[in-house]
Structure 1
Amino acid sequence: MSFLLAIEGADGAGKATASALVVEQLQAAGRSAAVISFPRYTDTVGGWALGAMLAGTLPRGTSPKAAAVLYALDRMESRDHLMATMAANDVVVFDRYIASNMAYQAAQVPVVEADTMMAWIADLETGSFALPTPDLSVYLDTPADIARGLIRQKRKRSYTDDAFDAYEADTGLQDRVRINYAAMAAAGLLGRWATVSTVEAGASRLPADIARDIVALLR
């Protein structure tokens, strides 16, 4: 049975880099591993719609629930790909997974509605869409100022030419997302969580060291 590891965090936390390095270190240790990054912007209808939404080119706006359905749809459309990847590997690493949908959409409703939104999304993705829950979710705790600098260093994305997409540009949203992630980790929503800091003494840690901390959690 494949171990499902979700790497989570606000934009600019270093999820893609950490995910790739975790797989690299696992493979070096003799374990088969692969990354699935969500959203899959060029591979699913949901992913395409999300790219348009984040680039500001969708013909109309979306409510938090509508956006949540699009993120869940992207994963539902990817279910066969996910199952095949699980069958072929000891470990599947998610660069964002279900908790990301919960954190971001709950950050866009009144605080009193956040828990209800999170529960609704969890039920949609793991219940209605029958997606597997992760065995471990790792929250990459990254201060906002450092995260914003890392966003600027991202390579060109398939869905936008801008330095920041709609979610990345909203600093208030990013702050609320961090609060939601910390709350989910503390409550153990979707299963076991661990928090890994990406900074030390006010400076960014080496990505390889962050990845080693994550790999150690699998043992």
Structure 2
Amino acid sequence: MTGFLLAIEGGDGAGKATTAAEVAAQLNAAGRTATVLSFPRYGATIGGHVLGELLGSRLPHAASPKAAAVLYALDRLESADAIRGAAASHDVVVFDRYIASNMAYQAAQGAADDAADLMRWIAALETEQFALPAPDLSVYLDTPVDVAHGLILRKRKRSYTDEALDAYEADGGLQVRVRANYATMAAGGLLGRWATVPTISGGLLRTPTDIATEIVEMIAA
């Protein structure tokens, strides 16, 4: 595995997929091979399929934070060959969500006092028990929750739900806690090197090109 592993992270509606695609496009245009892997892989893994059922509210009962964390980690475990193959054949692999997403979201669903321990437990599950590679850089797209909510409503229809908002997106309190968890991870350097990139400047949304250019410069640094 030789490629640089870049994780684009953030709450729902932060623009992760758009940013990941634009970063890869800029890198490829500059002569560096790059590809995007998006998680969860709803149609490609057992874990991803079950997560689609969970987020689409089609499971017979709710999943505990640890149970949900195992499903997200399983999706990546089943994708380990895809990750290794992408890293072996590209200079940069851009993840649209990766391990930190699991940590931020599941820790936001339990007791606040347990959040730090749960995030460490998930990190150990994915990087130690499942031996998945930690990212070389995680970029947190910092987007206010109210702005992100409006952007979610503009998303195209997803494969796993017919609703405008999935179970996580519909929970405004969850999104606030997720944002706090990402800030904690970035400040503490959990999983390695972090950078925080605001998606709002002067009260206006920054363009995907502008955001991606800032991130590409970090990779070159």
Q: TM-score, normalised by structure 1?
A: 0.99
Mapped partners of 2:215, 2:151: distance in 1:
20
Mapped partners of 2:168, 2:77: distance in 1:
22
Q: Which residue of 2 aligns with 1:195?
A: 196
Q: Residues 138-162 of structure 1: CA distance to partner in whole angstroms, max 9, x if unpaired?
A: 0000011110111011111110010
- Aligned pairs (5 A) from 1:116-127: 116-127=117-128
What residue identity is the alignment partner of 2:3?
Answer: S
Structure 1 vs Structure 2 CA RMSD: 0.5
Mapped partners of 1:42, 1:201: distance in 2:
39
Q: Which residue of 2 aligns with 1:42?
A: 43
% same residue:
66
Residue correspondences, number: 219
Segments of 4+ in structure 1 off by > 6 A?
A: none
Mapped partners of 1:17, 1:89: distance in 2:
20
- Aligned pairs (5 A) from 1:158-169: 158-169=159-170
Q: Residues 84-121 of structure 1: CA distance to partner in whole angstroms, max 9, x if unpaired?
A: 11111000000000000000000011111011100110
Query: Any stretches of 5+ residues in structure 2 without a counterpart?
Result: none
1:82 CA displacement: 0.8
Q: Tell me whether 1:70 sits opposite 2:46 in the alignment.
A: no
Q: Residues 56-100 of structure 1: CA distance to partner in whole angstroms, max 9, x if unpaired?
A: 001222100000000000000000111111111000000000000
Q: Which residue of 2 aligns with 1:58?
A: 59
Q: Which residue of 1 aligns with 2:102?
A: 101
What residue identity is the alignment partner of 2:121?
Answer: W
3-state SS of the aligned residue for 1:132? coil
Query: Any stretches of 5+ residues in structure 1 without a counterpart?
Result: none
- Aligned pairs (5 A) from 1:122-141: 122-141=123-142
Q: Which residue of 2 aligns with 1:175?
A: 176
Mapped partners of 2:6, 2:124: distance in 1:
19
Mapped partners of 2:121, 2:144: distance in 1:
28
Q: TM-score, normalised by structure 2?
A: 0.98
3-state SS of the aligned residue for 2:104? helix
3-state SS of the aligned residue for 2:138? strand
Mapped partners of 1:50, 1:69: distance in 2:
10
Mapped partners of 2:194, 2:25: distance in 1:
22
